[in-house]
Amino acid sequence: MKLLRYGAVGQEKPAMLDAEGRLRDLSKHVNDIAHEVLLPAGLARLAALDPQSLPLVEGSPRIGACVAGSGKFICIGLNYSDHAAETGATVPPEPIVFLKATSAIGGPNDVLEIPRGSTKTDWEVELGVVIGKTAKYVSEADAMDHVAGYCLINDVSERAFQTERQGQWTKGKSADTFGPIGPWLVTPDEVPDPQQLDMWLEVNGVRRQSGSTATMVYGVRYLIAYLSQFMSLRPGDIISTGTPPGVGMGFKPPVYLKRGDVVTLGIEGLGTQRQVATQFD
C-alpha cells in the first residue's frame, strides 16, 4: 500500500495510490496520514479498502510530505562505510545520531531553498523509516513490528553550517526545505527487505550517487532497537538512515548546489523526487 498527501501547503488531504498509479482520496475515511492512522489497526483498516471505490483525484496536484504530525526527525550519520571514506571519516563504533528540525519537512517536489549565507549546500539520498507503533526499549527481534512504512528522503545539508560553525550537525541540516520526504509512505508488505534497495541521485542529469541499502553499517532493525534505548519512538517519527557515497563534499574539488540546479533522486519501490534549487536572498 502506498499512502500520500496532496494539496497546497498546510491544506494537504490523505490519499492512496491505486494499481494504475492514480491518486484516490481518503478524506472520508481518515483526516490525515498521521498519528493513530499509522498504528497497525489504522493501516489495516486502510488496507481493507477497495481503491477503486475511492474518489479519483483529478489533475496533477502538488504532492506533500507523505506523513504529517512527526514529532521527531532523527538522522543517522556516516552509516555507509564508503560514504565515511569519501568524507575522510572512520566508521563509528556506534551510530551517529542527530536531529533535523521538523520545520525542514516538505513535499518531494517542492523548491529547495539554499539558505542565506550558504556556500556549501549538499544533497544526500536516504531511506526513511516511519514509526507506526511506539517503541521503547525494544529488541532487534521485535523492532520491525514498529514500522509503519518507508519513504524516500533527501537529507539536504549545508556543510559549512554543519562542520565549520561549531556545535552539533543539526544547524547544517535544519533549514526550511531541507527535509523533502515522499512521494509515498510504502507499507512494509511492499518492502520485504529494506536492506536490499537500490538508490540514486542526479544533479542536472548527472549521476552523483548510486548505492544500495545493503551497504548500511547499521541496518533498520538495529537502528530502531538502538534509538529506542535513548528515546521513545512514536507514530509518525521519521528515521533517516544515512547516505551512500557521491555527496558534493566528497568530490575533488567539492561540488555544491547553486540557484537553478535540478536534483532528482529515487529508491527502488519508493518513488522519485525532483527539486529545483533557489536562493533565499
Domains of the chain (ranges, CATH numbers): 2-53 (no CATH), 73-279 (3.90.850.10)
pLDDT score recorded for residue 124: 97
Q: Render each residue's pLDDT in the chain as its tens digit; 281 residues.
A: 999 999 999 999 999 999 999 999 999 999 999 999 999 999 999 999 999 999 999 999 999 999 999 999 999 998 987 766 777 777 789 999 999 999 999 999 999 999 999 999 999 999 999 999 999 999 999 999 999 999 999 999 999 998 888 877 899 999 999 999 999 999 999 999 999 999 999 999 999 999 999 999 999 999 999 999 999 999 999 999 999 999 999 999 999 999 999 999 999 999 999 999 999 87
pLDDT score recorded for residue 166: 82
pLDDT score recorded for residue 159: 95
Tell me how far the alpha carbon of residue 249 is from its chain's centroid. Answer: 20
pLDDT score recorded for residue 163: 83
Is the full-model pTM beyond 0.85? yes
Q: Enter the C-alpha cell of residue 89.
A: 571519516
Residue 196 near residue 214 (C-beta atoms within 8 A): yes
pLDDT score recorded for residue 111: 98
By CB atoms closer than 10 A (0-12, 13-18, 19+), residue 164 is: exposed
Which parts of 57-166 fold into alpha helices (H)?
Answer: 81-86, 140-143, 159-163
pLDDT score recorded for residue 92: 84
**CB under 8 Å to 241, separation ≥6 — which residues?**
76, 79, 126, 127, 128, 129, 213, 216, 220, 223
pLDDT score recorded for residue 119: 94
Residue 80 near residue 243 (C-beta atoms within 8 A): yes
